[in-house]
A and B are shown apart, each in its own frame.
Chain A
Amino acid sequence: MTLFIEQCLNGLQFGLLLFLLAAGLTLVFGIMDLVNLAHGSLYMLGAYFAATFAAWTGSFVFAAVLALAATLVVGMAVEIIAMRRLYGRDHLDHVLATFGLILFFDELVRLIWGPSGMSLPLPSWLNTSVRVLPGIDYSAYKLSIIIVSLAVAVFLYFLVMRTRIGMLIRAGASNREMVGALGVNIKLLFTLVFGLGAALAGLAGLMQAPILTVQIGMGENILILAFVITVIGGIGSIRGAFVAAILVGLIDTLGRAYFTDLLRLAFTKETAATAAPALSSMLIYLLMAIVLVIKPEGLFSASGK
């Protein structure tokens, strides 16, 4: 039983990390109608910035804050230089242009930081375990990821639901032209939204860095999951992204853990070990396909209510 709870916590943590990534994507998608494949590159930059600043300053928290700021700046720069020219164009154009950006960023990182990747060591005060429940010792760092991500989720909720900017964001998601016609500085709004998305991606990147990886191309693998979550949750809906992300995180983690055991009943260990991660990944895509067929706008669609 304790194993199950621990797996659930792992799934929750993974899901929340995905939420941070997907939230930015769905905002940009919903408001600017922009398909941004390079979102994963911002995730990667967040991790690289954090690793670099941590090496310079020696403080994890300080490095995290600096990295967030840096990613925000890069995000806004990218919006002004490249994204602006893509608004209103075909989605295929977005896909191609941002695919090109992925290639560019991957190489840029390789040029600046070298091909080996970096490491971001855990601060010692987080490198312990916490007794979450009797008999369950959970990594303090992972717990802090859960806490921070939930805090960000709450912050986003308040931002979108209770502030004026949030109202503009919601309005822009339903009807862009109208918002522009009402005299709102749409250009500034777009830049800020894109920047916010970039910061969220960067946060996800730097938080997973101590436990997973900081390497070139790390964005490509997780980007697909982020897109799937965006589609399942409904484009433009942060609430949808949250629900979908937790769902996907749990399915992926629990699937990998329990499919192996399930398959072992019928097949060899090797077959089970090879098939299990594949099955749990497939399950996620199957979920998306089912959602698209039944509810093509996603679970919590933002537009056209």
Chain B
Amino acid sequence: MRRTFLIASAAAAVFAAMPALAQQKTVKIGFISTFSGPVAAMGNDMRNSFELALDHMGRKMGGLPVEVIYEDDTFKPEVGKQKTEKLIESDKVDFLTGYIWSNVLLASVKPALDSKTFLISANAGPHQLAGEGCSPYFFSTSWQNDQTPQAMGLYMNQKGVKTVFLIGPNYAAGKDMLAGVAATFKGKVIGQELTKWPDQLDFSAELAKAKDAKPDAIFVFYPGAAGAQFLNQYSQSGLKGQIPLYTAFTIDELTLPRQKDTALGVPGAQQWVNDLPNETNKKFVSDYRKKHPGLSPTFYGAQSYDAANLIASAVAATKGNLSDKAAVQKAMEKADFKSVRGNFKYGNNHFPIQNFYLQEAVKDQEGNYALKTVATIVENDQDRFHDKCPMK
């Protein structure tokens, strides 16, 4: 009698524990970006692109339905962190993605990694996470912050620029960007100004200092609305035509309509441009334009589209068994999906090894502005921090 009872209770206990071992019912993804304030357009671009990717895959990953929860970091690190924790603890997501801002990402990464939740950054790439802070659970579908400005530095060398004046915002990514240019630029950095971020939108003081220093060129990094402001003030200050401007992440499909003529002739470096000739990209860009008339996707969106596909590839490869973290990690490291930038491999620190292109703004006869690929600056570029990462 007692033995039957014991066996029965053991069986009951096993059945009670079953849900933990059972297969996933859905794939839950938490998406953190900025959906309010002047940079909401970037967050919307990422959301639109992520949704488009889900549409393209029939809203199923590895046969499982997908649920996405979007949260707004309101452009603040502590809010991004709070929302990340909520997604992990309350919504119990399987993956986290999004993250435009490096400071928001750095604040949010600890709860994710502590809880072994995979975090795929679709934009921010602070050097801390590429070097000693790398983690098996962190992946990037964008770039490491320094890579893009490094490419610009190489391009400036090609153009024979001897002296440069650097201007950027004083936060994690801004510092990375300016350091990136300095890393590859062979000439002399004759001045550097870091501005207060995100409040300072008046760059007259910095432009005045740049003018004073008389450099061959000015390099600038100002994402989002600040980019539009900077270019306007650059031309208002009379520098346009006098001192050439080189940029990273300052001119994109969202800011170009506001920058208009001020963006013409200003080169930028990017790992993705909307006219890259591969099939996946053509479909992405044209379907995006169809679904959102009047809009074109930016690199933020392109990276989010890739993030969706990266996650899908991992879910499919592990047949939905997401509790086997090691298997998920291995699957993701393969980057076995078609990226809109053309296929790439992952470095040991889970950052892409990829090409960087030169993009320029052009105006056609009807007065429409567009960004075009002008040249390839560097191929299969890997970030310079991967040696410091202890992972093999």
Contacts and interface: CB of A to CB of B under 8 A. Distances in A.
Classify A-B as touching or not with yes or no (CB < 8 A): yes
Contacts of B238: 129, 137
B38 interface: yes
A274 B170 contact: yes
B207 to A, nearest CB: 10
Contacts of A215: 37-38
Contacts of B41: 116
B204 A10 contact: yes
A188 interface: no
B175 A213 contact: no
Interface in A167-189: none
A128 B238 CA distance: 8
Contacts of A270: 170, 175, 194
A119 B258 contact: yes
A116 B204 contact: no
Question: Which residue, B40, B202, B212, has most C-beta atoms of chain A within 10 A?
Answer: B202
Contacts of B38: 116-117, 213, 215
Given A10-B204, A119-B228, A216 B237 contact: no
Contact of A117 (B35, B212, B225, B233): B225
A165 interface: no
Contacts of A137: 237-238
A253 B196 CA distance: 12
Contacts of A91: none
* Residue of A217, A253, A260 contacting most chain B CB atoms (<10 Å): A260
A122 B194 CA distance: 26
A3 B36 contact: no
Contacts of B195: 273
A2 B199 CA distance: 26
B196 A277 contact: yes
B205 A10 contact: yes
A139 B35 contact: no
B205 A253 contact: yes
Interface string A113-137: 0111101011000011100000001
A148 B48 CA distance: 43
B258 A211 contact: no
A7 B208 contact: yes
A116 B254 CA distance: 12
B157 interface: no
A297 interface: no
Interface string B245-283: 000000000000010000000000000000000000000
A119 B95 CA distance: 36
Contacts of B193: 260, 273
Nearest to B195: A273
A212 interface: yes
A161 to B, nearest CB: 33
Contact of B35 (A115, A127, A221, A260): A115
Contact of B201 (A211, A216, A256): A211
B353 to A, nearest CB: 29
Given A270-B175, A274-B170, A3 B37 contact: no
A138 to B, nearest CB: 9
B289 interface: no
A129 B37 contact: no
A115 B314 CA distance: 34
Given A119-B258, A139-B236, A213 B225 contact: yes
B201 A116 contact: no
B230 to A, nearest CB: 12
Interface in B17-36: 35-36
Contacts of B296: none
Contacts of A160: none
B208 to A, nearest CB: 5
B117 interface: no
B48 to A, nearest CB: 14
A123 to B, nearest CB: 13
B170 A273 contact: yes
B199 A221 contact: yes
Given A116-B41, A129-B237, A211-B202, A3 B208 contact: yes
A295 interface: no
B205 A115 contact: no
Contacts of A6: 204-205, 208
Contacts of A277: 196, 200
- Kindly name the residue among B170, B204, B232 whose own CB sees the greatest number of chain A CB atoms within 10 A: B204
B40 A115 contact: yes
B192 interface: yes
A137 B204 CA distance: 11
A10 B205 CA distance: 8
Contacts of A273: 170, 193-195
A277 B202 CA distance: 13
Interface string A262-273: 000000011001
B291 interface: no
B92 interface: no
B209 interface: yes
B205 A212 contact: no
Contact of A127 (B36, B204, B205, B236): B236
Contacts of B225: 117, 119, 213
Nearest to B198: A213
Given A3-B209, A142-B204, A212-B201, 13 more contacts: A10-B202, A110-B36, A211-B229, A213-B201, A213-B225, A215-B37, A216-B36, A217-B37, A256-B196, A257-B205, A273-B170, A274-B170, A274-B194
16 contacts: A6-B208, A7-B205, A10-B202, A10-B204, A10-B205, A110-B36, A115-B35, A116-B36, A122-B232, A129-B237, A142-B204, A211-B202, A211-B229, A211-B233, A213-B225, A273-B195
Interface of A: 2-3, 6-7, 10, 110, 114-117, 119, 121-122, 127-129, 137, 139, 141-142, 211-213, 215-217, 221, 253, 256-257, 260, 269-270, 273-274, 277
Question: Which 10 A-B pairs have CB atoms at the shortest separation, nearest pair first?
Answer: A273-B194, A115-B36, A117-B38, A116-B40, A277-B196, A273-B170, A215-B38, A115-B40, A257-B205, A212-B201
